[in-house]
Structure 1
Amino acid sequence: MELSYGETPAVRSADISLFRGEVAAITGQSGSGKSSLLYCLAGVLPAARGEVRFEGRLLGELDDEALSTLRRERFGFVFQYGELLPELTVEENTALPLRLAGHRKAPALAAAGEVLERLGLANLRDRRPSQVSGGQSQRVAVARALVHKPAVVFADEPTGSLDSANATAVLDEFLALARSQGTAVLLVTHDDQVAARADNRYTMCDGVLTAQVWEGA
C-alpha cells in the first residue's frame, strides 16, 4: 500500500492484516507515516496504490456515503485528546455513535450508561467535558469508541496526552473492554510500554511498515 500528499510520499510500503479481537500496535518516530497509514486503513484517506479490504470489501470501490456508513457503524476512533463535543454530556457523547446510526435516544443512552458503568464513569454521566479530568475524558472517548461494538477501533496516540498512571489505567480498561467484545484494535503510539500490550507489533520508518517478532500481553 502507498499513500502520498501531492508529490510527498507518506506511506511507501505497508502490508498488514488485523483479525477479530486482535490488538496491533504501530510505533515509529513523528513523521514516519504511522498516523497516515492508520487513516488510510480506516478509509479516511485514499490509498494511492494497493488496496484496503474490510470483511472482503475493497474500501477504494465504496462511494462517500458507503464509506461514511462503514466508519460510523463498523469502526470506532480514539484520538490523543479525546475530541469530546463540549455541548454534550458525558453520557450523550458516549451515545453519539448509536444516535448517528439511527438508534432511538432512550436505548442509546441506556447502552452508553452500561459502558460508562464498566469503565467506572457512571457517576460522571451528567457532566460536561469541561467538568472532567483529562484521564476521565479519555475514558469517555474509549466508551464512545466501543459503545456500538465496532469491528475495529483505530486509536491514534490514545494515551499520548496522559501521565503514566492515567495512561496505564485507560489502556487497561480500553483493551479489556475491546477484547471482551471481540473488537480489533489498531493503535498508533510512540510509547514502547503501550506497544508492549499488543498482540502484534509493527514499526514504521520513512513510510515503510515492518513487522516485529513480539510476544504481546
Structure 2
Amino acid sequence: MLVADGVDLFYGPSQAVRGASLVLRRGETAAITGPSGSGKSSLLYCLAGVLPVVAGEVRFEGSSLGDLGDEELSALRRSRFGFVFQYGELLPELTVEENAALPLRLAGQRKPAALAAAGEVLGRLGLADLRTRRPSQVSGGQSQRVAVARALVHRPAVVFADEPTGSLDSANATAVLEEFLTLARSQGTAVVLVTHDADVAAKADTRYTMVDGVLTAQGRGQR
C-alpha cells in the first residue's frame, strides 16, 4: 500500500533522512523507534506527503507522491490519510463530536451524517457520554481518544501517528494505544507509528529503528 524507496531529506546542509526504505501493507502497523532528533518524525511527514523528498521515492497504491500537485496531495491527505499527534491538537472551539467529525465535514459530508459517524466511533472508544463537551472539559487520555476518533472516522487507508501517547501516563498510554490499534485493524487501516517507547513499538506488526537518519528493520512486534 505504501512504499518508501531510498528516501533522503535535508534541512539546509543537514541530512535528516538517509536512504530510508519501508513497505507498509494494508491493515499493518509499523512502528519506528529511535532517540530524539534521529529523523523519525521527518520520515513520517515524508511518507505522508507533507515534506517533499530530495531523493528516492514514496509511493501510495502504486503512485509516486512526488508526481502529485499540491491540490492532489491535499485531497489525498484529507480522504485517504489520517493523523494522530502527541498532544491531540483538538480545536478548542469545537465540541468533542465536532472535532471527531472534522475530516468528514472537510470532505463535504453534511453535518448530521458526519456527527452520526463520529458518534459511532466515539462510542467504540468509550466516549459516547462526552460528545457535547469541549476539549477543555475532558482529560488528557480522553482528548487523545478523540484525536484517534478523528483520525479514523473517515476510514482512511493509512494513519500516521507521531508519538500519539507521549503526553500520557503509562496506564492511559496503554489504554489509548490498544483502542487505537484495535479499531484501526478492525477497519483495515494501516498505521505508521513513531515512538521512543519500546513497549509501544512491541505492539506493532513490524518494527524499525532510526539513528542519525538511518532506518533499520528490526522484525516483528509482539502483537
TM bracket, shorter-chain basis: over 0.9
Which stretches of structure 1, 4 residues or more, deviate above 4 A after TM superposition? none
Partner of 2:173: 167
Number of aligned residue pairs: give it: 217
**For 1:117-147, what per-residue CA distance to the aligned partner results, in whole angstroms no more than 9, with x for missing partners?**
0000010000000000000000000000000
Look up the match of 2:39: 33
For 1:52 and 1:96, locate their aligned partners in 2 and report how far apart those are by CA, in whole Å. Answer: 27
Query: Partners of 1:143 and 1:214 in 2: how far apart?
Result: 26
Aligned to 2:57, the other structure's residue is in SS state coil
> In 1, are the aligned partners of 2:30 and 2:191 still within 8 Å (CA)?
yes
Partner deviation per Cα, 1:79-111 (whole Å, 9 max, x = no partner): 000000000000000000000011111100000
Q: Secondary structure at the match of 2:19?
A: coil
**Corresponding residue number in structure 2 for 1:5:** 11
Q: 8 Å contact 2:201–2:221 — kept in the other structure?
A: no
1:43-91 deviation line (CA, Å, top 9, x unaligned) = 0000000000001111001000000000000000000000000000000
Asked whether 1:54 is paired with 2:60, we answer yes
- 1:24 lines up with 2:30 in the alignment: yes
Distance, in Å, in 1 between the alignment partners of 2:169 and 2:132 is 25
Partner residue in 2 for 1:152: 158
Q: Using the alignment, how far apart are the partners of 2:105 and 2:219 within structure 1?
A: 41
Provide the C-alpha distance between the structure 2 equivalents of 1:160 and 1:169, rounded to a whole number of angstroms.
13
Counterparts of 2:140 and 2:172, CA distance in 1: 9
**Aligned-residue CA RMSD in angstroms?**
0.6
Identity of aligned residues (%): 80
- Structure with the bigger percentage of strand: 2
TM-score (norm 2): 0.96
Letter in 2 for 1:180: S
Unaligned runs of 5+ in 2: 1-6
Structure 1 alignment gaps of length 5 or more? none
